[in-house]
Every structure is written in C-alpha cells, then in structure tokens.
A and B are shown apart, each in its own frame.
Chain A
Amino acid sequence: MTLRIRGVVLDAVGGPVPGARVALEAGPVPVPDVALLTGQDGTFELDLPTPGEYVVAVHGDDASAQARLTAPTESVVEVRLDRPGS
C-alpha cells in the first residue's frame, strides 16, 4: 500500500501557492529525483518509499522552505513560503 503525505503550500500571508515545486530532499533511503507541482489550491499529495524521517523541500518563484516529518506518524504538512529562494 502506498505511504502518502498530504500538504499545502502557503505564501507569507497565508494564501495558497499554485505551481510550487515539491520534492523529497532527504530520507531514510534514496528518493526519486522528481518534483511535484502544487495544484491551484496549493495542495499536494506525495508518496514515500518507506516509513521514516524525511525532509520535504518546496520552491516557489521567489521563496523556498523545508518541512521535516516522520512517516507514517505525520501525514499532513503545511509549508509556508516566507523566505527567499535559492
């Protein structure tokens, strides 16, 4: 069965960010080097290869952020883009 996390990407004032690039940046095993684009409502659903601790990286046009989570204990994440991107 697929291990899935759900999330939403918000801007500095709490509005949804569509088209942000969401990717697993670190995890307990090597992770596929693809990135998911958030929907019009800023939401995303990302699948994990195995339980464990992950870093989810989010990149918008002018800001970036990360979130750390442990799956499957944590399955919902909110990421706020409020600092300059790379």
Chain B
Amino acid sequence: MSHDDINPHEPVAPEAEPVDEVGTEELTEDPGAGDGAPEEAAAGLDIEPVAAVMAQALDAVEQAPDTSGLRPVGEATYGPPIDAETVQGPDNRVQITATGSYPWRVHCSLLITANDGSQWIGTGWFNGPSSIITAGHCVFIHAPGTQRHGWVRSIEVMPGRNGASLPYGRFLVPRAQLRSVHGWTTGPDHEFDYGALLLTEPKGNATGWLGFANWSDATLNAKSLNLSGYPGDKPSGTQWYHWSGVAALSARKVYYTLDTAGGQSGSGVYVFHEGGRYAVAIHAYGGSGSNSGTRINKPVFDNLKLWKG
C-alpha cells in the first residue's frame, strides 16, 4: 500500500466553513478622535445626534395620510423599477456640513484613477493613524480583457471633504500602497470585497479613526448601523449620513436598509459601543434588495489590524 510522500499520520482538520470565520471570541480595536477639536460625548448613543432631528421628522411623516398605494411619480417617465434601488423608501439621508469635526473627518472622499485612466468616486475611512479602509473594488477593478483590469493607478484622498472645502487637505496614494486580499483580486467574490490604502505619513493623527470589531450575530442584531460617505447622487463631494437596523447577517456579509448610492463604496458601517464608534462592515453593494457590506469577521479584523500596523 502506497501513501506517496505524505506521512499517513499527518494531522488533518475539516476545511473551515464561512461560519467559523466569525469565531466565538468578540474582538475590538479601539477608535481615536485625533488631534483636532475633541469629539462630542458619545456615551449612551446608538445613532448619531444629528439623526435625532430627522427621526422626529420621520415620526411626523408616519402620521401623514397613507399614500402607500400610490406609485412613485418617477414611474410615469421611467416605468416601474427593475428592483429595489439603493436609496430605499423615503430618502432620509442627512447632510453633514461640520465635516471638520470628529467623527465626520475620519470619512474620506476618494477620487480613483483606474488603470485605463478612467476616474471613479468612492469612500474610505481611517482605521488608524496611517491606514484607510475601503472596498476591494475601489483599489482593484475587475474588467478582464480590458486595460481597466487590475490595481488602480492611484487614489486621491480628501478626508472630511465638504464640497469644495477640504479641512484636512488632499493627498495622493499610489498603486504600490494599496492592499486587498486574494479572495477579491482573484475573484471577484463579493464576500471578500475589501481593501486598504497604506499611508507614508500618519494623517490619521489629525483626523482620528473609527474602531473596528468582530462581533457575534446576537451583538450586532441589537445595534443600529450607522454609515456616512460620499454618494454620487448628491452635490459633488458632500458627505451624507444615514442609519438603520440590521436586515440580515451571514458569516461574511452584513445586509441593511441604509440608503446609499454610487460613490459610497468603502464607507464604514459602524455601531456605537461604550461611547465609541466601531466599524462592523465595509459598505460595497447596492441596487438589488437590501444593500450590503463585507462583514468584519475574524480574518477581516486580523487584516484591518495588520494594515493599521
């Protein structure tokens, strides 16, 4: 009987299932407010204070006459929608204008130059002094057989941008400082759609950063999800915030009804925990059913910590 060159007693284990990637240990990496003006007290919050005004407005809307049986006026021109849009139901996104203050200044408007010279907009967020997290498709574009395919040439970063106002300036991150993971660059596989920009200077010391966490389904289901980013359907370069509950969870994805639009890929989906803000997913997809992001499970957490340095 032959066993080739493999020791027949070499230990083996079942191949890991996706569910194993969440793990049983809840892991957190703490946020930081940076050197700028101190952050407002966040203890006891579940959504951002700016949402309170909007929430009151929504309560008022709920008391308005029921118009749910009426068709959207847009259908008169465009016909019924193919599928749920990325902005789901009433658009109750809140524009952030105080983008020079924490936490808004950790969110970055990204101007991406692809390998073929085409330009794209996306969003990223500081997870440490010298690293910005975004979607995998913001750093590596899949377009096989075209000049666009592959790592993008560079990304211009504008932290806390508010239209033409750049409270923390702008800087260019070249291709060599971009990172993603095998599951995305050899994919595309939406379950591994995340990446990073590694900085040569600690720009995040001024802006601060979000914490990030690998939490269980039970912990996440009890939280509100928050997201702020740079949607392309709003005035150019303006930051918009929204919040919602968790719609569904899988081992590698978080689904939600957060309103998003093209340009918000890479935004941090975060929750409040003991007065701090912790990202639990990286927003990446819209356009069909609930929107979704890549869940910060144990392997993603480990990579975010590696890139944070």
The interface of chain A, by Cβ under 8 A from chain B, is: 1-2, 4, 19, 21-37, 39, 44-45, 47, 53-55, 57, 59, 61, 64, 66, 68, 85-86
Contacts and interface: CB of A to CB of B under 8 A. Distances in A.
A53 B288 CA distance: 12
B226 interface: no
The 7 closest A-B CB pairs, nearest first, are: A23-B262, A35-B232, A35-B262, A21-B232, A30-B285, A31-B287, A33-B265
A57 B82 contact: no
Contact of B121 (A21, A29, A54, A61): A21
B260 A64 contact: no
Given A1-B144, A45-B118, 20 more contacts: A4-B146, A24-B262, A24-B287, A25-B86, A26-B83, A27-B83, A30-B190, A30-B287, A31-B285, A32-B193, A34-B263, A35-B120, A35-B262, A35-B263, A37-B118, A37-B121, A44-B118, A47-B142, A47-B146, A68-B79
A23 B261 contact: yes
Given A2-B146, A34-B121, A34-B137, A27 B82 contact: yes
**Interface SS majority for chain A:** strand
B81 interface: yes
Given A24-B262, A26-B85, A53-B82, A37 B119 contact: yes
Contact of B285 (A19, A32, A59, A64): A32
B35 to A, nearest CB: 31
Contact of A86 (B112, B138, B233): B233
B235 interface: yes
A54 B82 contact: yes
Contacts of B85: 25-26, 55
Contacts, number: 134
Nearest to B146: A2
A30 B82 CA distance: 12
A36 B120 contact: yes
Given A47-B143, A86-B234, A21 B119 contact: no
Contacts of B118: 36-37, 39, 44-45
5 contacts: A21-B236, A23-B262, A27-B82, A32-B284, A47-B142
Contacts of A64: 233
B121 A30 contact: no
Contacts of B91: 86
Q: Max chain A CB contacts within 10 Å: which of B85, B232, B260?
A: B232
Contacts of A61: 235-236
Contacts of A86: 91, 233-234
A59 B85 CA distance: 15
B89 to A, nearest CB: 15
Contacts of B112: 34
Nearest to A70: B82
A51 to B, nearest CB: 13
